[in-house]
Chains A and B, each alone.
Chain A
Amino acid sequence: MEFTSKGIYCRLADVYLDPWRPVKKALISHGHADHARWGHQNYITQQDNVPILKHRLGAISITGVPYGATFVINNVKFSFHPSGHVLGAAQIRVEHLGEVWVFTGDFKIKSDGITPPFEPVRCHTFITECTFGIPVFNWPNPQHVHDQINQWWATNKNQRKTSLLIGYSLGKAQRLLHYLDPNIGTIYTHNAVGKMSQVMEDKIKFPKYSILTPETTKKDLAGCLVLAPPAAAEGAWLKKLGPYSSGFASGWMLTRGARRRRAIDQSFVLSDHADWPGLLAAVEATQCQNVITTHGYTDIFAQYLREKGWNARTEKTDYEGEVLETDKETAL
């Protein structure tokens, strides 16, 4: 496996993992824009990710493979294993002559209840993200966070305010939606969130929701919850809302600086990435000797692992992990 200017490359099989430049054959870990880019000739991905990629990228040549099934390209064995990140997300296992590499894409350890949970895969070399790879990141119990969100909505509703809940349209939004309590009131989604959720409807149970239309009025929205992606959280359409309270769900919301930089009313600490203990547990569980960190606090995490006895290094990639700034999220 090599790190090239186009992506992570397996020369023997002539395939790339999550390449960031157009290539002939790409294995894709999951549907987020920094991992699944436009313009490859052939996509191979976990089967639940196929509708997501088609929805995002349109007419592409794509093959879906179930979790755990092995496929061989030029004597190299490949398989997808749950990474627990979002629906259809997989770690990619690569084996040649008994040597095993695992590429995580993005992952989280704790099950979110809607995505097949992370499955540790034994390997020699573990290529891992470390978006939250410093020890300040310890996630609170997600069930408490979902309770907080419902409480916040109920409080806003009592004050006749609209609750504007912000999360990525792919993954985070569905996780948020799944746990919203429809007994509190009516749920609306921004178009991008609604369309993406429809793609996943046969895999994830959602409460009843409607997609916002140009005809939806302020009056309709009073006391309701509107689920929108970060990119939409600053758009002109906000004028459609009457008095509202905004809430943002992200792992970054654990730190004060990040909370204060965004002018939001309420922050919720909820991430689809592993926290510090999660990253360490994942590395341990693979029983690997080598670790390559690809994005996040790569230098720090690799140095810590080296001190703990791993052969760890950093490779430069174009992945972004969980992005804090709204303007960076590619519109979905």
Chain B
Amino acid sequence: MIAFSNLIQQLDSTNKTNDKVQALCAYFQNTPHQDTLWTIALLSHRRPSRPITTTLMREWAAEVAGLPLWLFEESYHIVGDLAETIALVVPESQIQHKDPPALSDIMEEIIALKGQQEATKKKYIIDQWQSLNALQRFTFNKLLTGGFRIGISQKLMTRALAQALDMEENHIAHRLMGQWTPQTTTFDQLLRNPNPEDLLSKPYPFCLAHALQEAPQKLGNTTDWIVENKWDGMRGQLIIRKNKWYCWSRGEELISDKFPEFEAFLSLPDGTVLDGEILPFKNGKIQNFALLQKRIGRKNISAKLLKDAPVIFMIYDLLEWQGTDLRGQPTRQRRELLEEMFAQYKNSALPWQLSQALPSTSWEAITVERQKATEKHSEGLMLKKASAPYGVGRKKGDWWKWKSDPLTIDAVLTYAMRGHGRRTNLYTDYTFGLWQGDVLVTFAKAYSGLTDEEFRKVDAFVKKNTQDRFGPVRQVTPQLVFEIAFEGIAPSTRHKSGVAVRFPRILRWRHDKKIEDANTVDDLKALLVP
């Protein structure tokens, strides 16, 4: 616990990647295996489920600190982080642990807490708060609530681990995949001597794309690139090995039970691994993403749901074929094999399609394809370097996503909240409205897209033009107009405007527009794709 807290502090106090990797590496080298295992689990989002609600944590913290709950809540909104707020308000105790428990012990205690009486939980948690110092208290709270947000990607952690253990980064990345927990495996089983049976179900690390920022012409010759649509569904990896099949999400969750129709893929030969996108597909056509969300959200997949929201697997890469790992081969060769395989099994009536390579004779031709993307229910294009192997994680330069231009609309700033993390103290979380008659109807919230300088200006505006306060939310005088960009749009009964938009963000501050010039709800509805 001491070492882990210190590690968190070290990682948190630098934004230099090398320093982070070094700190992690040193930690891994000097930490007992059981704690290392837990650290890997925590930094790769394998946190055990929360034994208590954050509401209870807030109440208990206010009680221990002798504060009215509203004052604790206000403090939390200003600090922007619950674990930290609790760590700061709980008074420093005289009876601190001489020797706080090991990370793995704490984690086991937290897991054992689940299912206990509330009074037992309360006693345990308050005891911990009072016996740890502020830094450890913060860490302990993070262990309870999750999400360290210290700028450690899985890739960085893997790199540090590879250095510490003197192993290949790629091997480590593969072994860390899948659904393990420190309770179901050991350090040696996971990393040093994996059981071949365990490896059977393990997905390969996903290759991820970077957004293309500059002109595509800078990528050089179009013939060096394979161009595909960027499908608007859920990334998946389908594994067929030893007469069993597994479907993994990009978040490394086993999602096979959500998609029972993929069992049909068992007709493919043993040792096949496909990379692709799960898409809602009905009446011979790709459907809106919203339909897929129905499937993802449900625990039980009923026959009716299977009928109402059918899916297909849109394949675009072949990672393993006949038991051979193809990831080291160039993309062009993998694609040839993929197309051959698809042709060979075309008549097997599998719920799949092949993501076609699009004509790429010139950047002009590719640009035309990008414009056609929306009508195909695609978000834009993927550009994959023909000569590159299948990379691990977000390696720059091999895969680019070149999204279609977003939809945009001009909206009025109506409410603001303080931001989180580094933006706490500044009003950076905004709500935007569109006109319906002479009323501004909320249509989206957005947190990103302005420069720090602009955020400071809007923050000053919010503070000077507050009309009303609802807890942490300030209603502001309608005066500022922003151009809001978003990816997708779908009808919704849950939103006041009757429309739900995906990934809304601020494109620019329209200093040139008055609030009367902002768009209407009807303008927004006109953007709906039939």
Question: Which of B78-86, B260-268, B329-337, B483-491 is the contact stretch?
Answer: B78-86
Q: How far is the CB of B426 from chain A (nearest CB, A)?
A: 8
* Of the residues B14, B81, B89, contact of A135 by C-beta under 8 Å: B89
CB of B68 within 8 A of CB of A134, answer: no
Q: With A and B bound together, what is the CA distance between A138 and B75 in angstroms?
A: 13
| Chain A count of residues within 8 A CB distance of the other chain | 24
Q: Confirm or deny: A256 has a beta carbon within 8 angstroms of a beta carbon on chain B.
A: yes
Contacts known (A134-B78, A136-B88); A304 close to B424, Cβ less than 8 A: no
Per-residue CB contact flags for chain B residues 410-440 toward chain A (1 = under 8 Å, else 0) read 0000000000111111000000000000000
Q: Confirm or deny: B118 has a beta carbon within 8 angstroms of a beta carbon on chain A.
A: no
Q: Confirm or deny: A260 has a beta carbon within 8 angstroms of a beta carbon on chain B.
A: yes
Q: Which residue of A lies closest to B65 (CB)?
A: A135
Per-residue CB contact flags for chain B residues 494-524 toward chain A (1 = under 8 Å, else 0) read 0000000000000000000000000000000
**Which residues of A have CB within 8 Å of B80?**
255, 257
Q: With A and B bound together, what is the CA distance between A265 and B420 in angstroms?
A: 21
Q: With A and B bound together, what is the CA distance between A256 and B422 in angstroms?
A: 7
Q: Which residue of A lies closest to B80 (CB)?
A: A257
Contacts known (A134-B71, A263-B15); A257 close to B88, Cβ less than 8 A: no
Contacts known (A136-B85, A324-B425, A325-B456); A257 close to B71, Cβ less than 8 A: no
CB of B456 within 8 A of CB of A260, answer: no
Q: Which residue of B lies closest to A138 (CB)?
A: B88
Q: With A and B bound together, what is the CA distance between A192 and B424 in angstroms?
A: 30
CB of A257 within 8 A of CB of B68, answer: no
Q: Confirm or deny: A23 has a beta carbon within 8 angstroms of a beta carbon on chain B.
A: no
Q: How far is the CB of A13 from chain B (nearest CB, A)?
A: 31
Contacts known (A135-B89, A257-B424, A259-B13); A304 close to B68, Cβ less than 8 A: yes
**Which residues of B have CB within 8 Å of A259?**
13
CB of A255 within 8 A of CB of B14, answer: no
* Of the residues A134, A138, A260, A304, contact of B421 by C-beta under 8 Å: A260
* Of the residues B85, B89, B420, B424, contact of A258 by C-beta under 8 Å: B424
Q: How far is the CB of A281 from chain B (nearest CB, A)?
A: 15
Q: How far is the CB of A37 from chain B (nearest CB, A)?
A: 19
Q: With A and B bound together, what is the CA distance between A304 and B72 in angstroms?
A: 11
**Which residues of B have CB within 8 Å of A256?**
12, 81, 84, 421
Per-residue CB contact flags for chain A residues 284-318 toward chain B (1 = under 8 Å, else 0) read 00000000000001001001100100000000000
Contacts known (A136-B88, A255-B79); A260 close to B422, Cβ less than 8 A: yes
**Which residues of A have CB within 8 Å of B456?**
325
**Which residues of B have CB within 8 Å of A254?**
88
Closest 10 CB pairs between A and B?
A257-B424, A136-B88, A260-B422, A261-B422, A134-B75, A136-B75, A300-B74, A257-B80, A135-B89, A257-B422
Of the A-B pairs whose beta carbons lie under 8 Å apart in the complex, a sample of 15, sorted by A's number, is: A134-B75, A135-B65, A135-B71, A135-B72, A136-B75, A136-B89, A137-B88, A255-B79, A256-B421, A257-B423, A257-B424, A261-B422, A261-B423, A300-B74, A307-B68
